[in-house]
A and B are shown apart, each in its own frame.
Chain A
C-alpha cells in the first residue's frame, strides 16, 4: 500500500512540474508567405509590355535575404502565362542586368532606392519596397503594415512611368499614394 502510494506521489510530482513545450513555428516563414502571395498576385493584375512576355518571369531580390529562398520554394512550380518564374539574387544595384520583371528591395536596402531608380530607368520593372514613405519616393508598390496586417501602397504614376498597366482590382485593394 505504502509502495503504491509512493509511486502515485512520484508520478504526480513528475507531472506537476511538466509542461510540454509545443513547437514554435517560424514567424519569418509566414510573413514571407504573405509577401510572396502578394507578389504572385501582382503578376496577375499587372500587365507588362509584350517584349517582357518571353523567356522566364524574373523576380530579383536586391541584397542577401532569406526571402530569396522562400520565394524560390513557393514559386518553383508556378508560371505567369507560359513564363516560368526565375528568382534572382542581386548583390548590389550594379549587378542588376537583363530583364527583371519585379525588383524587390528589402527594407535594409531602402537607402539605395535612388540608385535603383536610376538604374531601372527606361525598363519595365515593377519596383517593390517595404519601408514607409518609399512609394512617394519612386517605388511602384510599397509593403506597409496597417492594423497588424500586411498591406501595400500603390503609386500609379510610378507604374505608368515604367509602362506597366495596373488592373482596377489591384488599385481598389491598394492604399493609393500619389
Chain B
C-alpha cells in the first residue's frame, strides 16, 4: 500500500519535471529570440548564442512540432548565412535555413490565427530572399568547373520561389538556366571530345528541353545546330588519313547524320532572326558539308550582301 503511494508520488514528480523541462525549452526559444534581436550585442555574439540556444531547444518534442520554434530557427540560420557565409556558394547553413523556414510554414499551415497568417508571410518573404541568393550564386558560379554547384543552387532557387509563390513564373528562368547549362556541357564536350563524349548528349538534351519550353528560342536552336555541325566536322577532321578506304564511308555516314540533324535547327534560327550573320555562316557550312553547293553558295551570297550593307 505504502509502496503504491510512493509510486504515484514518483509519477507526479516525473510529470512535473517533464513539464518544467518543456517550459525550459520554450524559454530557450524566447531567449534565443531575445538575444537574436538584441542589437546592442555584436552580430557574431548574438547570432552564435541564439543559434546554440535554438539548436538545443528544437531537440525537445514540444519545440520539434512547434511552428514558432522552427520559424525562429529558420530566421537565425538565415541571419547566420547573411552575416558569415554570404560568399559561400555551398553554404550548409543556407540550406538548413530553407528547411527550417519550410518546416515552420508546414506547421503553421492549418493555423487560422492572424499571428500565423503574418508569420507565414514573413516566412515566404525570407524564403524569397534566400531564393534570390541561390539564383545570384547560380549566375556567378556558372562555368565548366562549378556547374554542379549551379545546378544545386538553381534547384534550391526554384524550391524557394515556388514556396514563396506557387504561381511564380519560373519559365523564363528555366529557359535561361537550361540554355546556359547546355552551353557549359557543350564547352566541356568541345574541350575534350573523346574523354567528354557523354557531355554531347547532355548538351543536346538540355537544348531540346529549352526548345520544348520555347520553340522559338533563337539561342537554343542556333547552338544546337552548331553542336551537331561542329561535331560532324570534328569527326571528319579527327579521321586518320591512313584509315582504310572502306571505313571512310562510315565516317562520312556518321558526319552526314549530324549535318542533317543540324539543318532544321539552323533553319528555325534563320526564321527567328532572318538576317543574322552567324546563322548564314552556319547554314553555308552545313550545306557545304552536305555537298549541296547551290544552297551553300546562296548563303555565301547572303553573307556577302550583309557585309556590303555594313
Please give the residue numbers on chain A whose beta carbons come within 8 Å of chain B beta carbons, in ascending order.
1, 4-5, 7-8, 11-12, 15-16, 18-31, 33-34, 36-38, 40-41, 44-45, 74-75, 78, 145, 147-150, 169-170, 173
Contact = CB atoms under 8 A, between A and B. Distances in A.
Nearest to B139: A11
Given A19-B222, A149-B291, 16 more contacts: A11-B135, A11-B136, A12-B173, A19-B218, A19-B223, A20-B183, A23-B230, A25-B229, A27-B233, A27-B285, A30-B237, A38-B248, A145-B291, A148-B256, A149-B253, A173-B249
A147 B244 CA distance: 21
B290 interface: yes
Nearest to A29: B237
Contacts of A44: 245
Contact of B129 (A1, A24, A150): A1
Interface of A is mostly: helix
Nearest to A44: B245
A131 to B, nearest CB: 12
Interface in B113-158: 129, 132-133, 135-136, 139
A148 B226 CA distance: 19
Given A8-B135, A11-B136, A148-B291, A40 B241 contact: yes
Contacts of A75: 241
Given A25-B237, A150-B291, A16 B176 contact: yes
A15 B245 contact: no
Nearest to B240: A37
B246 A37 contact: no
B282 interface: yes
Contacts of B245: 37-38, 41, 44-45, 169-170, 173
Contact of A33 (B176, B232, B236, B285): B236
B195 interface: no
Contacts of A12: 135, 172-173, 176
Contacts of A78: 241-242
B180 interface: yes
A31 B248 CA distance: 12
